[in-house]
Chains A and B, each alone.
Chain A
């Protein structure tokens, strides 16, 4: 028998988009805030359009493997909207909504997933890059939070992770120290039910992932991750606690990954159409849209105009992505060390010679012009797609 642990669960909008009763003052305030909710709706839809087009780019060989956030837009937007600009985001790879809210140009997101390192330049200067190794970001986040505490800043750190990631030591070590040192960090689990093909129930024997916080001594909460209002309220509370020196918080957002894990995955191999259909009935965008429409805050013509503007914004980003001149080969040395170590110059010479050979397979080129290097279009890594 598992010992009983009371895990609070928070939901504000029914799956049909109706406000529930018995809500807190802040939740009611959010529900009455037309502009805030419309903003949230706009970011969620923009994210979805961006996701669809990113997947299409990958399918047509114009981008690398891509992990869509289809179905998880509510939590991503709630995180992005609740964070202050000067807070620090230590993200995982499926945080597209939050990245957009933190100011990453669409072009840069596409560059990143298109295999061009210049994409990583986006975002506020203090935010961390996407962490591809699972869960390592949790340790970085507590480091940032400790730095904030040492420096006496009143900001907070938000770090995100998938359900699978909570199985790793990094996550457990991080929540442990966050509790012990009372660090200003909010852990957000996007529990989308799967880690690639492994369902949440096989991942961990506990009834909820939120309760992992018990052992760390930090407060915890489960929210309906498809309910923007519930997510936003939870984030506001957690961030306020963190900023006012009350320590860490763990939120498990219960959601569902409606798409494949990545464009290299085929989710039909491990889950039934019925399950996915059922999940679609709970998805976040429709839910908020219904609520907005019933308040008389959103209608067909606004929807049309907004969809058009999303299309346009994403198309502009795609155009900017496609017209980026290729990065010169020697850029691989640029950011390795702060200053290029003189002792490595022999290796740079080797690269120049290699580039020379690639440019002119049959003849010797006298002048090296790295900037104009042809891009190899087969760079779309097939082997990664097989992963």
Chain B
């Protein structure tokens, strides 16, 4: 694994390396940034996102905690309330539920509950999503659970460049951020990432591709299939606008609305199960605000309302390029 310790400004790196790059950058420029989590020290985290950081920053800034997720979240809140900027790693999102009480009842409300006196600039990072043949409890996408909570930000990068820029923004943000890293695309592509310390904006969708016929909205690992589907559809003369939602909450709905008003068609792609999710939220917003501009019903390509199957069958669960193409062809002939 390439640790990219070279001091060159531009690195051709994977998404997980971009995470490391952003952490290292921010730890260098801001002494209050500290890391905590399980196995993040000498081991560099199970996905190596913190590789080399213990050596550079020492025990006081890269802390291996006891194996206790509730504690990690609660402790991060305490640290944040006392002037640090903790970035906590939860080894897998499947183990984040023990942190739920702290996120819902404290992190997201402490600013409100103290009228701004105590704030909670924490980042909780967690790898999530399916497609890497992981054991049970390692593959779900439950971002909607957290997106429902007022006061939390939920951010999901989908490329090395966005991982770098959005993680910087998350660390600098004075509100709590859940930073979910789609592990399926941790190492799938390399991009040139400049270590310039410039954050990307939160609360903003990114338009990855422009088109007049269909708006495709997605985030995380599914962006990959979504872009491939857009390419395939283009070969058939159907031009898709592809939006990467990036910040799930608060959601930049206006960009989606503007795009859908232009194309008249929308297909939402997400890995999470179908019902009560972020896709439903977007569809409801479009029903409220774009009904008369829609040329076809809003479509969703999603996982099912089932437990994510064990990995031999996970390809049946995950939205595929072909699923997206099929739905889009239906949209065009509605």
**Is A260 part of the contact surface with B, judged by Cβ < 8 Å?**
no
Name the residue of chain B whose CB is nearest to the CB of A118: B115
Contact status B70-A170, CB under 8 Å = yes
State the CA gap A143–B119 with chains docked (Å).
Answer: 14
Q: Does A121 contact B (CB under 8 A)?
A: yes
User: Bound state CA distance, A129 and B115, in angstroms?
Assistant: 10
> Interface size (B, Cβ < 8 Å)?
48
Tell me which residues across on chain B come within 8 A of A127, comparing CB atoms.
Answer: 118
Q: Interface residues of A: mostly helix, strand, loop or mixed?
A: helix
Interface 9-mer from B39-47, B74-82, B209-217: B74-82
A117 cross-chain contacts in B, Cβ below 8 A: 112-113, 115
State whether the Cβ of B142 lies closer than 8 Å to any Cβ in chain A.
Answer: no
Q: Is B5 an interface residue (CB 8 A)?
A: no
| A335 within 8 Å of B (CB atoms) | yes
Complex Cα–Cα for A125 and B114 (A): 9
Query: Are A150 and B60 interface neighbours, CB within 8 A?
Result: yes
Q: Chain B 253-284, CB within 8 Å of chain A: the 1/0 string?
A: 11000000000000000000000000000000
Q: Which of B101-109, B189-197, B235-243 contacts A (4 or more CB under 8 A)?
A: B101-109
- CB of A170 within 8 A of CB of B115, answer no
Establish whether residues B60 and A338, one from each chain, have CB atoms under 8 Å apart when the complex forms. Answer: no
A147 at the interface (CB under 8 A from B): yes
Query: Separation in Å of the A41 CB from the closest CB of chain B?
Result: 31
Q: Which of A75-83, A277-285, A340-348 contacts B (4 or more CB under 8 A)?
A: A340-348
Stretch of A171-179, A232-240, A307-315, A364-372 at the chain-chain interface:
A171-179
CB-CB under 8 A from B75, the residues of chain A are: 139-140, 142-143, 146, 177
Tell me, yes or no, whether A293 is within 8 Å of chain B by CB.
Answer: no
Contact of B110 with A by CB under 8 A: yes
B111 with A180: CB separation less than 8 A: no
The chain B residue with its CB closest to the CB of A341 is B250
Return 20 A-B CB contacts under 8 Å, by A number: A117-B115, A121-B114, A123-B117, A126-B118, A136-B106, A139-B71, A142-B71, A150-B34, A151-B82, A151-B84, A169-B70, A335-B112, A335-B115, A336-B111, A336-B150, A337-B153, A337-B175, A338-B119, A338-B174, A343-B253
Residue contact B60 to A143, C-beta cutoff 8 Å: no
Is A143 touching B70 in the complex (CB atoms < 8 A)?
no
Q: Name A174's contact: one of B73, B74, B251 (CB within 8 Å).
A: B74
Residues of chain B within 8 A (CB-CB) of A143 are 74-82, 86
Interface centre among A90, A117, A128 (most CB of B within 10 A): A128
A150 touches B84 (CB 8 A): yes
In the complex with contacts A136-B102, A170-B71, A338-B203 CB distance below 8 A:
no
A12 within 8 A of B: no
> Which residues on the A side are within 8 Å of B303 (C-beta)?
none
Q: What's the Cα separation between A150 and B31 when bound, in Å? A: 10
User: Does A88 have its Cβ within 8 Å of any Cβ on chain B?
Assistant: yes
Contact residue among A88, A133, A138 (Cβ-Cβ distance under 8 Å from B82) = A88
Cβ-defined contact, A336 with B151, below 8 A? yes
Give which listed residue, A125, A136, A180, contacts B74 with CB less than 8 A: A136
Contact A174 B71, beta carbon cutoff 8 Å: yes
B61 interfacial contact with A, CB 8 Å = yes
Measured between beta carbons, the chain B residues less than 8 angstroms from A132 are: 105
Q: Digit string of A143-154 for contact with B (CB within 8 Å is 1, else 0)?
A: 111111111000
- B residues adjacent to A (C-beta < 8 A): 34, 60-61, 63, 65-66, 68, 70-71, 73-84, 86, 101-102, 105-106, 110-119, 150-151, 153, 173-175, 203, 250-254
Inter-chain contact A139/B77, CB cutoff 8 Å? yes
Instruction: Let me know if A342 and B203 touch, CB within 8 A.
Output: yes
How distant is the Cα of A147 from the Cα of B84 in the complex, in angstroms? 7
Q: How far is the CB of B112 from chain A (nearest CB, A)?
A: 4
Q: Kindly list chain B residues whose C-beta atoms are within 8 Å of the C-beta of A337.
A: 111, 151, 153, 175, 250
Query: Shortest distance in angstroms between B327's beta carbon and chain A's nearest beta carbon?
Result: 27
- Which A residues between 356 and 383 are near B, CB-CB below 8 angstroms? none
Is A146 a contact partner of B101 (Cβ separation < 8 A)? no
Q: Are B117 and A140 closer than 8 Å at their CB atoms?
A: no
Complex: how many Å from CA A321 to CA B78? Answer: 30
Query: Nearest chain B CB to A155's CB is how many angstroms away?
Result: 10
Q: Which residue of A lies closest to B285 (CB)?
A: A346
Judging by beta carbons under 8 Å apart, are B111 and A125 in contact?
no
Distance in Å from the Cβ of A203 to the closest Cβ of chain B? Answer: 20
A343 near B203: Cβ-Cβ < 8 Å: yes
Which one of A133, A335, A342 contacts B116 once the chains associate, using CB atoms below 8 Å?
A335
- Which chain A positions have C-beta within 8 A of B86? 143
Q: Which of A125, A136, A173 contacts B66 (CB 8 A)?
A: A173
A290 in the interface (beta carbon within 8 A)? no
Select B68's contact among A121, A136, A173, A336, beta carbons within 8 Å: A173
Taking CB atoms, residues of chain B closer than 8 Å to A169 are 68, 70
Is the C-beta of A120 less than 8 angstroms from some C-beta in chain B? Answer: yes
Partner pick for A146 among B70, B78, B105, CB 8 A cutoff: B78
Taking the closest CB of chain A, its distance from the CB of B243, in whole angstroms, is 14
Q: Which B residues touch A109, using CB under 8 A? A: none
Bound form: Cα–Cα A270–B18 in Å: 59
A144 and B82 contact, Cβ closer than 8 Å, known pairs A139-B77, A139-B102, A342-B203: yes
**Distance between B152 CB and nearest chain A CB, rounded to angstroms:** 10
Whether A129 touches B74, Cβ cut-off 8 Å, given contacts A177-B65, A341-B203, is no
Residue from A128, A136, A174 in contact with B105 in the complex, judged by beta carbons closer than 8 Å: A136
Cβ–Cβ contact A147 & B79, under 8 A: yes
* A140-B203 CB under 8 A given contacts A150-B34, A180-B66: no
C-alpha gap A128/B109 in the complex (Å): 12
